[in-house]
Structure formats: C-alpha cells, structure tokens
Structure 1
C-alpha cells in the first residue's frame, strides 16, 4: 500500500465515522504536534494572543499553546462537565487586553454535554475572531454538535495515542471545519497548507513505534529495573515515552509530522472496530452508574456522567472530598483488580517541572476553586474491561471496593 493510499484510507475512515468530508481531515504523528501546527499558524497569521484553556488537563494539551508563542489563560471548569464553564468565562474575559485567539472545549474522559457545549460555542461566537478548538483526545471520532447535527468546533483535535480510545498508541488527526474558509480564508489556507505539508517520520521513529507494544510489555515486567532501562532507551532514542521530559517543561520534543503509513493503516483498522470498543465501554459505564449512583454526591460523580444515555467514557471519574479519601479508594480498587488512576492529579498531569513556563501562578490558583477541588480528589475507574460475564464481575467488584471506602 502506498503512502498516499494509507492517508486516503484513514481520512475516509474518519469521515465515514463522523459524517464529515475526507478532505477536512489531516493525520498527524501525535495529536499534540497537530495542535502545535494549528496554533503556530494562528500565531503567525494573527500575531500574539491568548488561548483560554483549563488546568484540569494533561500538560501535553497546553504544550502546543506555549510552544507556539501564545499565552494560555486558565478558566474555571464546570464540575458537571469537566470542561470550561461558559457562564464563568463571560466574567473572566472582561478586561483581557490581549486578543483571545481560541477557546478550548475539552471532552474530559469522553464526556460530551450537548447543552454545555452549545453554551460555550455561543460564548465563543460572541468573541471577535476567536476560534473554538475542540480537544477530543479522550473520544476519538466523537464531536460536539449543534442542533442541526453539524460539528460545533472550528478545529477538532483527535488522538490515537497511548491510553486513549483506539489501541494504536500513536497517531492523531486534526479536523478543520469547512466554514472557516468563508469566515477567515487566509487562516484556513494557512492551517491546511501547514498540515498538508508535514513530513513523515524517519526510520528511527518508524522502528520504535512498531516495537513499542512488545518493548513496553517487557519493560513493565521488569519492575524497578524496567524503569531504569526505559530511561536509558529513551535517551538512546530507542523508546518513545508517552510524555517526554521536555513536554513537562512547556516544549514539544519534535516538530510536527504526519504518521507513518503503518500507523495510518492501524488507525483506520481501529476506527473500523470502534463501534464494538465503544459499546463495551458503555456497558461498563452503565454498571458503574447503576451500582454507584446512589452515592453519586458522596463520590463526586459529575452530573454529565450520570445523565442521559451512558457514554463510552475513556475513564469513569470520581472526585472524593480529599486527597486522602481519593488515595484510599484508588488503593482499594487496585486491590480488587481494577487499575484505578489519578488523572488529573496533579494539575497539568502528570505534573510539570516548570510551572512558570505554563503561566501557572498563585493568582491562577486563587481564582479556580472548582478546579482545585477536582484536582485534589480525582480518581478514575477503568472502562475497558471486556464484554463478557467476567468483565461484568470485575466491574461489580470495583464498585464494591469503592463503596467499601465510604
């Protein structure tokens, strides 16, 4: 299969899954590099400015903003949706002197709340020359949509990377709304031109991506020695870490690239199997909702998780009243056979080495009390448990472990 064929196949798979046009999709080696290409184009076309984003996220979601020369401004999130609170946003931007180039709509853990997304979209539309950039890292091929069924975002970022919905470990894609060609043809042409012209990775990255799964499996079995070897292999360029040290200091480790044809083919295959993947996650989410719902307030389960039909969440979030409570739940769930995680504790997960590079100050913390509370008590339950009775038994055991901590 030729390089052009693998790209066309992935674009077609993305378009078919989302009801969009293949020509509006641009595959990238990692979603963060596609975001960087988009924000760099925005910076170069419109100059210096601000991107409104959130602290309750991964550092790699902010690295592209910082590395592109734009300024992140952290906004309060809605505890029910875990994305920027549209009502708080209106008051927050009063007095902002720099132009606001973009607002991030992050579907944390895969939560898509139609009403909240519409509210944020309307708030952004009232801001002159501001893009709505959608972060779909946790819900590849699912997008916020308007009442007409069309996508709300101007730019939508999808990840196929490590610990995401697709089992590909690498790859991502940027979608550009065709309406941008009417509202800002110069920016639209610059965005598309840059993404279309990205180079392919070289032989080294092609090799390390192909061996990643087996390499990681071996290293994980070696315990502490595996961690030491992982560091040595990373320094030698023989292991591609999910988050590089430079990416915890506000600097991406590579220039933007397209995926390799091998990654594109794996991603296209995974998108073809995405329905079964999502249905399995929905069933696990439904079990969690059923068994934990009576304690939703005590467990801090977001309302966006508990309302409507179960969504195919990447993780099922809990927000305990303290870090101590969160750690007790995490340990109990792991003991019961469920790999609970701390996403996003600490903020800008897994934590940054240089907060100043991200513009994180005491003033920022002082005006984000909801975010602070979420970070302190965050625990995430696994949703990829399979689709048999054994998986359902595991889900029930995880719920028993959670409830046993109350």
Structure 2
C-alpha cells in the first residue's frame, strides 16, 4: 500500500466498524498501535493547550494506564475507588478537590463494568472544575458510558484491542474524540485530530513481531522448566518479541513514541469487532452464572453493580476475598478445575511498578485510598471466556475454597 496514504485512509474500514458499533461518526475515531500511545498523544495535546497540572486517576489499574500521564509531565492524583463500581468514588474525588490545576479525570470501566449513573456524577465533578473526562474502555471495547440519552459521556474515549482484552487481536487500539469538544475547546479538538491523524506507521520490525506474537507464545509456553521465560527475555532484549508490558513501562515511561496501526492490525481488529456480538453474548452468560452462583457468599465481596439488571459482558468477573491468603486459595481452587483465575490488580498499578517515585507513590497519603488497599489485598478475577459447564465448575471451586 502506498506509504503516502494517510493513517486514516489505511484503516478506514476499522473506523467504519467502530462507528457502526457505537452509533458515532467514523471521522471521530483514530486507530493507534497501542491504546497507551493514543493516550500519550491526548495528554501531550492537553499539555500544549492547557499546560501541565494534575490528572485524577486510580491505583486499582494497570501501570500502563498511568504511564501516559506521568511520561507527559502530569502529576497523577490518586482518588479512592467505589467498591461497587471499581471506578473513582466521587466522594473521594471531592475530598481531593483542593487540586486547583486539575486537567483531566480518568473514568475507568474496570473489567468492563459500566455504571452510567456514577459515570455521570464523575463527569459532572470534572466539568465543574473545567477538567476533561477521559474514559478508559480498555476492558470494554466499543462499550461507552452514556449521558441521560444515548450520547457518549466522555470528551475522549480510549479503547484497547491488546493482549488479554476483549478482542483476540493482541495489538492495536483506538481513540474517540467527542465532536462536542470542537464547540467547547476548538483548538484542543483540532490539535488532537491533527496529531492523531498524522501518526507514523509502525516500523517493519514491529509489524513483524506483532505477527509472530501468537506463535511465539505457543512455542515458549511449551518449553520445559524456566527456559520459556528465559528465551522470552532474550527475544525481548534483541527486539524479536513484543511484551505486553515493557520493563520501561514499570518505571513511568513508554517503550516507543506514538504510532498508528498497520493494515494487518486494522484488518484483525475489524474482524474482531464484526464478531463482538457472539463474543459478548458468551461473556454475558458466564457473568450471569458467576453472579447467580456466588451472590450469597458473605465471605467475599462482589461489586454490587454486577448484581443489578442484565449481566454485562465482563472481561473478567471480579470478587474480593477477605485477605490475600483467602484470595490465593480461591485462585488455586479455580485453576485446579481448568479456570485461569487472575490476580488483577494485585499489586496495585499491576503488575507492580519498579520506580514508585515516578508514579508519585512516595508522597501518597494512604489514608485517602483505603478502599483501594482492601480491594488490592483480596483481588481475584475469574475468566469469562469459558464454556458454560466450565463456568459452573468454577463456581463450585470458589465455593469449596471458602467453605
């Protein structure tokens, strides 16, 4: 394909698919190599327009959701989360409202759990302070919080197609810009669209290693002992393996500059979006099995919003044990029946950061994030991409682990 074509022309089919899925305009979607790099472009544009300041976010997340904040020079302001939504608690945000240079507030739909009511309250909090609402849809691609009608709530919405996300694509992401931003801040809107629309194409090496990723993992996972991990590290060091999280990304930096998407990534992402109905239907059914089978357990906490209304197509089903030993017993029991239970997000800023200073952890008042601390200690997440019979076995395994 002619390299003189713009990034938008190369991935126009993906933009059309995203727009059709979300009821938006294809012109407002901008595909990127990884969602974190799209966020980096957004924060750079915000800094250029409004100057440096604080971005309100949460510790119950992945470090790569905070890297774009700190690597562009913003100060992360950690609010506590609501144990029933796993997103920023508005009361906690109000207690931190002394921040007078707030530039943005992160609205994260952890595990794909979307609560429109609390999302609207958080958006109101942000807009009262003239801060942008940046929505993290990494776990719920194409599903977005809505206002009182059907209009997406956020100013900027970030979607990931990467490793251990809803789509089976392993790479790619997209940024959506709310068209109303053109009315409230036309210069920022123009800057965002210009920078995102002109991202360079990934290098040939990145194009190659992204294609190799699935087969590399298959081979490496079958090697005996610790040889698979050692070889993965070697391949990473010589640039022949693209890790989900680079070492630099645990130090408050990003591994590359912002890039667009290759046509191969775009085709895979488009196919994944075309198959989302079946994908989400399966996850809804499994979520409902977990919800119905575990709701009466008093020894664990299940976020309350999961219990309300129609089951959501969660990326993972979260539950929270009373302490870490109990969480580990649950994980071991579930894995024994073939369900790959996870520790997301234990430790905080998963999988844990190497340089706490880079993330502002050395000056954090822990009394302001006590709910987060309790959730981290007991975090367990159950797989939702399993068959219904296996989901039933996992319910039994959880119950037996805490009997």
Shorter-chain TM-score range? over 0.9
1:388 equivalent in structure 2: none
Q: How many residues matched?
A: 397
Of 361-370 and 347-356, more deviation after overlay is shown by 361-370
2:176 equivalent in structure 1: 175
2:46 equivalent in structure 1: 42
Does the 8 A contact of 2:37 with 2:258 survive in 1? Answer: yes
Q: Cα deviation per residue 1:188-212 (whole Å; 9 max; x = unaligned)?
A: 1111111011000011000000111
Give, in angstroms, the shift of residue 230 of structure 1: 0.2
Give the structure-2-normalised TM-score. Answer: 0.97
Q: Cα deviation per residue 1:26-77 (whole Å; 9 max; x = unaligned)?
A: 0000000000000011111111100000000000000000011111010010
Does the 8 A contact of 1:136 with 1:157 survive in 2? Answer: yes
Does the 8 A contact of 1:219 with 1:227 survive in 2? Answer: yes
Give, in angstroms, the shift of residue 92 of structure 1: 1.6
**Cα distance in 1 between the residues matched to 2:364 and 2:234:** 38
2:132 equivalent in structure 1: 131
Match of 2:92 among 80, 88, 91: 88
Match of 2:82 among 73, 78, 85: 78
Tell me if 1:152 matches 2:125: no
Q: Structure 2: state its 5+ residue gaps.
A: none
Q: Cα deviation per residue 1:158-184 (whole Å; 9 max; x = unaligned)?
A: 000000000000000000000000000
Tell me if 1:165 matches 2:166: yes
Tell me if 1:361 matches 2:362: yes
Q: Cα deviation per residue 1:82-133 (whole Å; 9 max; x = unaligned)?
A: 000112211221x224x100000000000001111111111112112x1000
Does the 8 A contact of 1:6 with 1:265 survive in 2? Answer: no
1:400 equivalent in structure 2: 396
**Cα distance in 2 between the residues matched to 1:271 and 1:172:** 12
1:102 match: secondary structure: strand
Give, in angstroms, the shift of residue 6 of structure 1: 4.1
Does the 8 A contact of 1:76 with 1:368 survive in 2? Answer: yes
Q: Structure 1: state its 5+ residue gaps.
A: 386-390
1:242 equivalent in structure 2: 244
Does the 8 A contact of 1:52 with 1:72 survive in 2? Answer: yes
Give the structure-1-normalised TM-score. Answer: 0.96
Give, in angstroms, the shift of residue 308 of structure 1: 1.3
Tell me if 1:10 matches 2:6: no
| 1:218-367 pair list within 5 angstroms | 218-222=219-223, 223-295=225-297, 297-361=298-362, 363-367=364-368
Q: Cα deviation per residue 1:235-259 (whole Å; 9 max; x = unaligned)?
A: 0000000000000000000000001
**Cα distance in 1 between the residues matched to 2:47 and 2:125:** 22
2:20 match: secondary structure: helix
1:112 equivalent in structure 2: 114
**Cα distance in 1 between the residues matched to 2:99 and 2:175:** 28
**What's the RMSD between the two structures over aligned residues?**
1.1
**Cα distance in 1 between the residues matched to 2:385 and 2:229:** 25
1:103 match: secondary structure: strand
